[in-house]
Amino acid sequence: MKFDYLIVGAGFSGCVMAERISSILGKRVLIVEQRNHIAGNAYDYFDENGVLVHKFGPHIFHTNSKKVWDYLSAYTEWIPYYHRVLGMLDGEMVPIPFNLNSLNILFPSTKAKAIENALLEQFKLGDKITILQLQNNKNKQLQNLADYIYEKVFHGYTVKQWGLRPEELDASVTGRVPILISRDNRYFQDKYQAMPKHGYTEMFRRMLKSPNIKLLLNTDYKEILADVQFNKLIFTGPIDMYFEYKFGQLPYRSLRFEFEFHNKEEFQEAGQINYPNEYEFTRITEFKKLTHQKNILGTTIAREYPEVYKKGINDPYYPVPKKEYREQYILYENEAQTIKDKVIFAGRLAEYKYYNMDQIVARALHLFEKEINTEKDNKE
Amino acid sequence: MKFDYLIVGAGFSGCVMAERISSILGKRVLIVEQRNHIAGNAYDYFDENGVLVHKFGPHIFHTNSKKVWDYLSAYTEWIPYYHRVLGMLDGEMVPIPFNLNSLNILFPSTKAKAIENALLEQFKLGDKITILQLQNNKNKQLQNLADYIYEKVFHGYTVKQWGLRPEELDASVTGRVPILISRDNRYFQDKYQAMPKHGYTEMFRRMLKSPNIKLLLNTDYKEILADVQFNKLIFTGPIDMYFEYKFGQLPYRSLRFEFEFHNKEEFQEAGQINYPNEYEFTRITEFKKLTHQKNILGTTIAREYPEVYKKGINDPYYPVPKKEYREQYILYENEAQTIKDKVIFAGRLAEYKYYNMDQIVARALHLFEKEINTEKDNKE
Ligand SMILES: Cc1cc2nc3c(=O)[nH]c(=O)nc-3n(C[C@H](O)[C@H](O)[C@H](O)COP(=O)(O)OP(=O)(O)OC[C@H]3O[C@@H](n4cnc5c(N)ncnc54)[C@H](O)[C@@H]3O)c2cc1C
Ligand SMILES: Cc1cc2nc3c(=O)[nH]c(=O)nc-3n(C[C@H](O)[C@H](O)[C@H](O)COP(=O)(O)OP(=O)(O)OC[C@H]3O[C@@H](n4cnc5c(N)ncnc54)[C@H](O)[C@@H]3O)c2cc1C
């Protein structure tokens, strides 16, 4: 078969580029996807009870980029949704990220008031600060607050999430734990926050409508590489796999989801509840809270269990945030540079980096403009 | 790309053969499907309200073949379901096919009793007879009943369904209208009657699990034919298209479905209600009645409007049952014979024939044994 572009992976990275290439350049694209569905890790589907669930963990769309918002809006309508996360701390459910409300729920009121005043003396209402800023603070009360949050919100969750003690991770991760100087209980503060009205998968389906886009499912790209002709490869799979692990396997953390249907109106108070300290799972998602599905009796939840990633057994989810692994990745990146006229590496697996969906869309649009739609540049 | 078999079409015909070829022979198959989904006309999906609906009209599984039942049972569990159809006749809802209950609802009781007795004198309780048997009957009462059923149940429905008067269709169609000499209100009397527990599409997904089966969606086979290497082609698309309409286009009837969500428990009394005489649509299906989905508030229905088939505009559904078209098909069939070592034609479009799902599965299994799994025959 002959195509202008062969794209490996039908996630956001692959599908956005396929859409651009077919509709802006009118060129022919073959997308090869090893799974039996499109949408990558954003894949959602209706389970046997009619509840729209996210197969690979809860995906909440949020962005400050009007460009990304406008782009995706061509393929979906939206349902406004503000994500709220509660954390189970000392037997109380408190807003996460930790904010002034969390403070008031957890501490005796005089103490809470005093800390609140100390915070407001140094920071503006509405500021999003990091735990590092409190740890390094001269105010003893704020140092103590930092210790409390580190201990109760961060430490246990991190150990479960990564299977590592915080000290073993990059300092940047540890220092980045956010604290909100406000009573804003939303998990995100982005300008655009919403869920695609008919689900992510349907949004992808509409992106891929062009007759110039062919979609080969159930297929690892290596199985067909020798038999397809194309001018350029866009690779959104794992970069270490592309180079046959010549510099070793890049470490990932994996996840296991335990889905459960409950015959009741509501399972929990918020779309997501984190359990930093109890149980083996890190969080429970209740999908109806995210999607506002109104007409279903009963509700489906998922418990999320972090796991060691084992190639061929489970899926790679999160790159492990350690400097040495990033350095290992750089070896691959350098290798990729040597073939950049033939292969574009893009996406969370190809760049060994956690990206939010909006970032990955922005990146795909950017790559399209910079690396692919170059004739236009020449003309200008 | 190199495959042992190239299969055109991901409906029952194509998928059953793909499954057999990959799992029994361990050979490599590429399925090419022009739509963006598997399951052919049996495709179902959850609509935006979480109701499992059938995109191409209500599909009820029924068979007397233990072989077909056992085969499909490897890929799905089942929900027992007896299909009931009511017809709106003279403002009353009566069981279809016309049976002794229909008689008693529509006629004054003494008259109904008399006709019932006349029927039971000539036929056994439980018999399924044809309208032809009544039309040719010596008993005047039964002739009148035949006229009544022809007029009220058959005539209007046929004109809507085919856009033709009954006289213009094959006599076999007209004569075949069934009448049930019983109080059995079920539409089918088959030994196995059920719906796949997780839907048809999920059943297909499980059929296609083998790594030997690759699935190319959004693609007309002609687009890739020149670039794929294979030993044998299995073609389940329209046979006239395969031969580039050299003997003219085979006439089909098409359908348009109007889906509608209602915010109530139940829309109608039965899974299917036929309107032989009123409205432009022929029938209304209420999907929850078929699938027994219990936990959805509200219900989705579809009104079914027969239409003229126009190539490229809508889909071919039913071959028009006229002798001259069958003869036209025979020209294609003869042509197919001349290339039978290279191409197997199978399925409702390739054979220009209405088949129920169980028949098409039986046929695919048979073709596999007879035409494909021939090494086994040699060994025996
Ligand atoms: C648990 C979890 C929760 C998340 N929640 C959010 C959220 O709330 N909000 C948000 O903005 N972002 C969220 N994300 C991030 C989001 O999932 C990513 O931004 C997005 O999926 C990245 O898209 P991608 O196309 O780069 O990668 P992917 O979606 O992973 O797509 C890559 C595709 O390539 C395929 N592939 C890989 N190797 C091969 C091969 N050899 N041959 C063929 N195909 C191959 C894979 O099967 C996959 O489908 C979350 C991520 C995770 C893990
Ligand atoms: C309205 C309606 C209701 C029905 N209800 C019932 C029922 O209740 N019970 C029952 O047993 N049966 C029912 N049937 C019959 C059932 O749909 C068929 O038996 C079954 O779909 C036949 O399967 P198939 O694989 O032969 O054809 P299809 O399911 O039509 O599959 C053929 C596939 O080939 C694809 N294709 C065609 N041309 C090309 C091309 N050039 N390139 C690539 N792909 C191509 C098509 O897109 C299609 O997906 C019903 C049929 C209709 C129309």
Question: Within 10 A of A3 (CB to CB), how many other CB atoms are there?
Answer: 21
Using a CB–CB cut-off of 8 Å, the residues of A that contact B are 1-2, 36, 45-46, 48-52, 197-198, 205, 208, 211, 213-219, 223-224, 227-229, 263, 293-298
Residue A2: per-residue pLDDT: 87
Question: Do A18 and A207 touch, CB atoms closer than 8 A?
Answer: yes
Which residue in chain A has the smallest CA separation from B288? A50
Chain A CB contacts of B211 under 8 Å are 218
With 70 as the cut, is the pLDDT of residue A380 above it?
no
- Quote the radius of gyration of chain B (alpha carbons, Å): 22
Confidence of residue B149 (pLDDT cuts 50, 70, 90): very high
* Mean pLDDT for the stretch of residues B321-336: 96
Chains A, B: CB contacts under 8 A, how many? 87
* Residue A305: Cβ-neighbour burial (10 angstroms; 0-12, 13-18, 19+): middle
DSSP A65: -
Which residue in chain A has the smallest CA separation from B263? A295
Residue B376: per-residue pLDDT: 60
Q: How far apart are CA B346 and CA B364, in angstroms?
A: 7
- pLDDT above 90: percentage of residues in chain B: 93
Which residue in chain B has the smallest CA separation from A217? B215
With 50 as the cut, is the pLDDT of residue B176 above it?
yes
Q: Which two tokens stand for residue A135?
A: 């740890």
Q: How far apart are CA A296 and CA A264, in angstroms?
A: 10
With 60 as the cut, is the pLDDT of residue B83 above it?
yes
Contact across the interface for A217 and B215, Cβ inside 8 Å? yes
- Is the C-beta atom of A223 inside 6 A of ligand 1? no
Q: How far apart are CA B347 and CA A194, in angstroms?
A: 44
With 50 as the cut, is the pLDDT of residue A379 above it?
no
Written as one string, the DSSP assignment of B62-121 is EES-HHHHHHHHTT--EEE----EEEEETTEEEEESEEHHHHHHHS-HHHHHHHHHHHHH
Q: Which two tokens stand for residue B31?
A: 């399925």
Task: Supply angle C-alpha A326, A327, A331, rounded to 5.
Answer: 115
Question: Within 10 A of A369 (CB to CB), how many other CB atoms are there?
Answer: 14
- Is the C-beta atom of A32 inside 6 A of ligand 1? yes
Protein residue whose Cα sits closest to atom 4 of ligand 1: A59
* Each residue's pLDDT tens digit, B196-253: 999 999 999 999 999 999 999 999 999 999 889 999 999 999 999 999 999 999 999 9
- Quote the radius of gyration of chain A (alpha carbons, Å): 22
Taking the centre of ligand 2 as the mean of its atom positions, its distance from the CA of residue B56, in whole angstroms, is 9
Contact across the interface for A36 and B229, Cβ inside 8 Å? no
Contact across the interface for A216 and B216, Cβ inside 8 Å? yes
* Each residue's pLDDT tens digit, A301-326: 999 999 999 999 999 999 999 999 99
Question: Do B349 and B309 touch, CB atoms closer than 8 A?
Answer: no
Which residue in chain A has the smallest CA separation from B216? A216
Q: How far apart are CA A343 and CA A350, in angstroms?
A: 11
CA A279 to chain centre: 23
Q: Which helix (H) or strand (E) holds A286?
A: strand A283-286
Q: How far apart are CA B40 and CA B355, in angstroms?
A: 13
Domains in chain A, CATH or no CATH each: 2-38+208-248+321-379 (3.40.50.720), 99-180 (no CATH)
* Each residue's pLDDT tens digit, A211-260: 999 999 999 999 999 889 999 999 999 999 999 999 999 999 999 999 99
Chain B CB contacts of A51 under 8 Å are 50
Question: Within 10 A of B167 (CB to CB), how many other CB atoms are there?
Answer: 8
ipTM: 0.88
Taking the centre of ligand 1 as the mean of its atom positions, its distance from the CA of residue A229, in whole angstroms, is 26
- Is the C-beta atom of A221 inside 6 A of ligand 1? yes
Instruction: Give the closest of A50, A214, A296 to B218, CB-based.
Output: A214
Which residue in chain B has the smallest CA separation from A45? B46
What ligand has the least distance to the C-alpha of B31?
Answer: 2
Q: How far apart are CA A275 and CA A152, in angstroms?
A: 10
- Is the C-beta atom of A15 inside 6 A of ligand 1? no
Average pLDDT, chain B: 95
* Mean pLDDT for the stretch of residues B272-277: 97
Between B145 and B378, residue with greater pLDDT = B145
Q: Which helix (H) or strand (E) holds A29?
A: strand A29-32
Confidence of residue B379 (pLDDT cuts 50, 70, 90): very low
Distances (CA, A) of A365 to A223, A292, A378: 28, 30, 18
Q: How far apart are CA A332 and CA A326, in angstroms?
A: 10
Contact across the interface for B214 and A217, Cβ inside 8 Å? yes
Instruction: Give the closest of B48, B228, B297 to A198, CB-based.
Output: B48
Protein residue whose Cα sits closest to atom 50 of ligand 1: A59
Residue B380: per-residue pLDDT: 41
Ligand 2 pocket, residues with Cβ under 6 angstroms? B 8-14, 32-35, 40-42, 56-60, 220-221, 236-238, 255, 317, 347-349, 355-358, 360
Contact across the interface for A214 and B214, Cβ inside 8 Å? no
- Is the C-beta atom of A54 inside 6 A of ligand 1? no
Residue B174: per-residue pLDDT: 82
Question: Do A84 and A187 touch, CB atoms closer than 8 A?
Answer: yes
Distances (CA, A) of A42 to A3, A188, A218, A237: 26, 18, 17, 15
Best residue of B38, B295, B299 to probe chain A, by most A CBs closer than 10 Å: B295
* Residue whose CB lies within 8 A of the most ligand 1 atoms, among A243, A282, A357, A367, for a mutation test: A357
What are phi and psi for residue B325, nearest 5 degrees?
-75, -35
Question: Do B225 and B264 touch, CB atoms closer than 8 A?
Answer: no
Contact across the interface for A52 and B52, Cβ inside 8 Å? no
Min Cα–Cα distance to chain B from A93, Å: 29
